[in-house]
Amino acid sequence: MRYTPHTQEDVRAALDAIGVDDVQALFADVPDALLDPPLDLPAPADEATLLRHVRALAARTDAHGPSFLGGGVRAHFMPSVTKHLATQSEFVTAYTPYQAEVSQGVLQTTFEFQTMMSELTGLPVSNASMYDGATAVAEAALLALRATKRRRIVVSRGVHPHAREVLATYLAPLDVTVDVVDLDAHHATPVPTDLSDAAAWIVQSPNHLGTVEALPPHVEAAHAAGALSVAVADPLSLAVLRSPGEVGADVAVGDGQTLGVPPQFGGPHFGYMVVTERLLRQLPGRLVGETRDVDGRRGYVLTLQAREQHIRRGKAKSNICSNHQLAAGMATINLAALGPDGLREMAEGSVRNAHALAERLRREGYDVATGDRPFFAEFPVRVDREATAVRRDLHAAGVRAGVPVPDEYGLGSAVLLAATESTTDDDVEALVAALARVAPPAEVPA
């Protein structure tokens, strides 16, 4: 039975208070093309016919074949046990676990997630996941504004363009200045000369072009100016690179897709945020803590919930509500299945295969634009055609590759290519052959 709490008299009273004649008047500002668009639907079909049609549509999406897609989202190996456990009902049906007595499984998984993210980033306090990497960057900026009482954010252009767009959207209603520092000729971020009034200095490593940034000088510059040092990191890279905590960063944020969430049309992913202990009370979202019940048995509870639903709106640290804990739980299971050695093997395999791919493309005559700096798992390649056309034609050739590099990076027409621990020699041969057809190098080597 439908839940219809409002009587006609209730609706009439509300409309009279607003000053309109009917409900449709409330939508007068919406264009007709959006409000009531024409629907060109086919004739009704029986169930068997409809299922055949849907299967045919699904078959048009070919997710097989070699993948070199990057841009922060990559297809890594996942043990079969990960998906099996992550789809168990106790995880799939999980919501915000307010009632600890009936949520111990979810709470324990979340506690393990926080522990793993703390170990990876080298910082002591992790929250129970964010929506995604982009919103995590924006929330880190808000945290810095609260903690320092300053009104300026400085961010490297090496931070993912999507994250910077979300950052600008979050800060647009506030009286906050956002300054972007350009990359140098080596695709690395120069240390800014003036951070004196900055709340945060945000640097990503590996950055959007794949370059591994040297973080210590940036951390030192931020702290010398009284700003927070925010490190944006691909968490898989932390299996082989120095962690943000090791180099002294105050906040580590990023997107957790590479830890155990399949690429799926851009999401859902999950974000992470880990901070120093002095920033604990500024952390958005919630934390799960370990405790003991009246009988001395170990248990888990929501320890800190600094959102507007739990404390006074003016004191809330964020309006984050339902986050992407299901995806974060999947990554937790995946990390447990891989273990530290398995995670490091994946990271090292990605580095090894990415560098082998870059070298192979150089031998083929392509302009591999790494800027003579170390890179992790992906890198840009200049092409003599429009980048989106190259990506489209590679896909038609059976190879998923070529994330276009935005014009703001000054590389002309270029695409990002990524390799992972799963990239094979046959995959590379397929990419080289497809590139030779759709975007041959400007000069074929002698």
Model confidence over 161-198: pLDDT tens digits? 999 999 999 999 998 999 999 999 999 999 999 999 99
pLDDT at 90 over 80: no
Instruction: Record the tokens describing residue 95, joined without a space.
Output: 């919501």
Query: Where do the domains of the chain lie?
Result: 80-334, 340-438
Structure tokens at 240: 């082989």
Mean per-residue pLDDT of the chain: 91
Axis-axis angle for helices 104-121, 325-363 (nearest 10): 40
pLDDT of 279: 96
- Listed in sequence order, the DSSP H helices in 276-414 are 325-363, 387-396
| Closest by CA position to 286, among listed 244, 316, 253, 312 | 316
Can you give the pLDDT at residue 315?
A: 67
Q: What is the DSSP string of 167-199?
A: HHHHHTTSS-EEEEEPP-TTS-PPPPS--TT-S
**Length of the chain counted residue by residue:** 446
Q: Look at residue 313 and tell me whether its pLDDT is greater than 70.
A: no
Options 2.60.40.1190, 3.50.50.60, 3.40.50.300, 3.40.640.10; CATH for 80-334 is 3.40.640.10
pLDDT grade, residue 93 (50/70/90)? low
Between 216-220, 250-254, 261-265, the lowest mean confidence (pLDDT) is in 261-265
What's the mean pLDDT in 320-337?
A: 85
Tracing tokens 């984050």 back to the chain, one arrives at 320
199, 178 Cβ separation under 8 angstroms:
no
CA–CA separation, 86 vs 329, rounded Å?
7
HEC assignment per residue over 221-252: HHHHCCCEEEEECCHHHHHCCCCHHHHCCCEE
Contacts by 117-122, CB closer than 8 A, 24 or more apart: 117/235, 117/272, 117/274, 118/274, 120/235, 120/238, 120/239, 120/243, 121/233, 121/235, 121/238, 121/243, 121/244, 121/245, 121/252, 121/272, 121/274, 122/243, 122/244, 122/245, 122/246, 122/252
Neighbours of 424 (CB within 10 A): 11
Residue 61 confidence (pLDDT) above 80: no
Peptide bond into 206 cis (omega under 30): yes
Q: What is the pTM of this model?
A: 0.86
CA distance 256 to 203: 17
Give 95's pLDDT tier (boundaries 50, 70, 90). Answer: low
More confident residue, 294 or 205: 205
**Least confident segment among 248-262, 275-289, 400-414:** 275-289
Note the pLDDT tens digit of each residue in 283-298. 888 889 999 988 999 9
Rounded distance between C-alpha atoms, residue 289 and residue 110, angstroms: 9
Highest mean pLDDT, choosing among 88-97, 98-107, 405-414: 405-414
Give kind and range of the element (H or E) at residue 52: helix 47-59
Report the greatest alpha carbon distance in the chain.
Answer: 84
Candidates 110, 112, 175, 24; CA nearest to 326 is 110
pLDDT of residue 267: 77
Nearest-angstrom CA–CA distance, 390 and 368: 16
CATH of domain 340-438: 3.90.1150.10
Q: Is the pLDDT confidence value at 159 over 80?
A: yes
